Amino acid sequence: MSVRKLKPITPGQRFRVVNGYDAITTDKPEKSLLVPNKRSGGRNSQGKMTMRYIGGGHKRKYRIIDFKRDKAGIPAEVASIQYDPNRTAFIALLNYQDGEKRYIIAQNGLKVGQNVVSGKSGVAPEIGNAMPLSEIPLGTIISCVELRPGQGAVMARSAGAFAQLMAREGKFATVKLPSGETRLILAECLATVGVVSNSDHQLLVGGKAGRTRWLGRRPRTRPVVMNPVDHPMGGGEGKSSGGHPRSRNGVPAKGYRTRSKTKASNKYIVERRKK
Beta strand pairing call for 190-193 and 141-143: antiparallel
pLDDT class of 179 with cuts at 50, 70, 90: very high
DSSP 74-92: --EEEEEEE--TTSSS-EE
The CATH code for residues 3-201 is 2.40.50.140
pLDDT value at position 122? 85
From the list 198, 199, 170, the residue with the least C-alpha distance to 185 is 170
Instruction: Evaluate whether 191 touches 173 at the Cβ level (below 8 Å).
Output: no
Percent of the chain with pLDDT over 90: 94
Q: In what order do the strands lie in the sheet with 269-271?
A: 130-132, 190-193, 141-143, 163-169, 172-176, 182-186, 269-271
Apex 76 CA angle, 75 and 82, nearest 5: 155
8 A C-beta contact, residue 138 and residue 167: yes
pLDDT at 121: 84
- pLDDT, tens digit, 9 for 90 and up, residues 85-125: 999 999 999 999 999 999 999 999 999 999 999 999 889 99
Q: What is the dihedral of CA 138, 141, 144, 148, to 10 degrees?
A: 20
pTM of the model: 0.93
**Amino acid letter for position 252:** P
Give backbone dihedrals phi and psi of 34, rounded to 5 degrees, phi first. -105, 140
The pLDDT value recorded for residue 1 is 66
> pLDDT at position 240, please?
85
Lowest mean pLDDT among 9-13, 44-48, 156-160, 239-243: 239-243
pLDDT, tens digit (0-9, with 9 covering 90-100), for 206-258: 999 999 999 999 999 999 999 999 999 999 998 887 889 999 999 999 989 99
Mean pLDDT, the chain, whole residue set: 95
**Which residues, at least 6 apart from 127, have a Cβ–Cβ distance to it below 8 Å?**
107, 108, 109, 110, 193, 194
Cβ distance 194 to 143 under 8 Å?
yes
CA dihedral 212, 42, 28, 9 (to 10 degrees): -10
pLDDT tens, 142-166? 999 999 999 999 999 999 999 999 9
How far apart (Å, rounded) are the C-alpha atoms in residues 106 and 99?
Answer: 20
- In this structure, are residues 129 and 119 in contact, taking their beta carbons and an 8 Å threshold? no
Which pLDDT belongs to residue 150?
Answer: 95
Residue 191 bridge partners (DSSP): 131
The whole-angstrom separation of Cα 76 and Cα 69 is: 11
Q: Under DSSP, is residue 13 helix (H, G, I), strand (E, B) or coil?
A: helix
CA distance 89 to 195: 10
Domain limits of the chain? 3-201
